[in-house]
Amino acid sequence: MDFDSFTLAASTADLAEEPAAREHADIVEFRMDLASDPLAALDAYDGELPLLVTNRATWEGGEAAEPDEAGRFDTLAAATEYDAVAAVDVELRALTGDSDAVTDTSHATALRDLARERDVTVVASVHDFEATPPAERLRDLLDTAASEGDVGKLAVTAHDRSDTLALLSATHEATAAGERVATMAMGEAGRHTRAVAPVYGSKLGYAPVDPENATAPGQYDLATLAGLVAALDAPES
């Protein structure tokens, strides 16, 4: 998938839920780190929607079961063998080594090479579960993520409207500079950005298939987000 236009991902840890996502989603985000036997689930998958696979590291807010980065990336590499897998999420800090938890970036960079060989899009992701960094840092993170991955994704936590405006501005500037980015602000204050960021160029949004199992704070349910994004769809100016 090229993510040249807005793509709506329905997040789940259970691929059996895929039929419920078909009406509104373009892709299913399979949270492998939240599933009990993710490779067996991929093997059994015969749904219609393509998959974006995520095996979120514990040091980035996820629950990946593998004790080390080598194992975590082996699981992702195995996932990219499946035809249904169209995209893979790789944490930006795993690619750049900008984290105490990452001593060796070769696992992530090798996975990126493998994914591209297999025509699987790489989403380089950044999460801030505490706050929204200052404007300059937002731009810097988006620039780096968009150059390290095929799509640069930034999810921050907003506490007020200046946070959400800063994120939307950074999204607009990165998009105007030709970068392929995806942005969203987590938390109640950030919720509306999930609907509005696509107007400013965000190419990927997330909503849970089952609203009981949100994968981030402040997510809309799938039908609501699909409806809001469609209603706000504005011509580029």
Ligand X SMILES: O=C1C[C@@](O)(C(=O)O)C[C@@H](O)[C@@H]1O
What is the distance of C-alpha 95 from the center of its chain? 15
Least distance in Å: CB of 60 to ligand X? 9
**Amino acid occupying residue 43:** D
| Residues tagged active-site | 127, 153
CA dihedral 70, 118, 19, 35 (to 10 degrees): 0
Give the residue with the Cβ less far from ligand X, 164 or 219: 219
Contact 152, 182 (CB under 8 A): yes
Identified binder of ligand X from the candidate list 35, 155, 225, 226, rule CB under 6 A: 155
Give the residue with the Cβ less far from ligand X, 186 or 209: 186
135-148 helix and 161-176 helix, angle to the nearest 10 degrees? 40
Give the residue with the Cβ less far from ligand X, 117 or 149: 149
Check the annotation: does 66 bind a ligand. Answer: no
Contact 146, 171 (CB under 8 A): no
Give the residue with the Cβ less far from ligand X, 84 or 167: 167
Tell me the residue nearest to ligand X as measured from the CB.
216
Return the structure tokens found at 78: 């195995």
Binding segment (CB under 6 A) for ligand X, from list 70-78, 98-106, 169-177, 215-223? 215-223
**Amino acid occupying residue 20:** A
Sign (positive or negative) of CA dihedral 96, 197, 53, 59 = positive
In order, the DSSP letters of 112-130 are HHHHHHTT-EEEEEEE-SS
The number of residues that bind ligand X (CB under 6 A) is 14
Residues in 49-78 at the binding interface with ligand X, rule: CB under 6 A? 54
Identified binder of ligand X from the candidate list 6, 7, 8, 11, rule CB under 6 A: 11
Least distance in Å: CB of 31 to ligand X? 6
Identified binder of ligand X from the candidate list 7, 121, 125, 164, rule CB under 6 A: 125
- 215 contacts ligand X (rule: CB under 6 A): yes
Strands 151-157 and 121-127 come out as parallel
CA separation for the pair 54, 132 (Å, rounded): 23
Binding segment (CB under 6 A) for ligand X, from list 15-23, 98-106, 143-151, 211-219? 211-219
CA separation for the pair 185, 156 (Å, rounded): 5
Identified binder of ligand X from the candidate list 121, 183, 193, 219, rule CB under 6 A: 219
Check the annotation: does 31 bind a ligand. Answer: yes
Element (DSSP H or E) covering residue 176: helix 161-176
- 184 contacts ligand X (rule: CB under 6 A): yes
**Binding site listing:** 29-31, 56, 194, 215, 219
Query: Footprint of ligand X on this chain (CB under 6 A)?
Result: 11, 29, 31, 54, 89, 125, 127, 155, 184, 186, 206, 215-216, 219
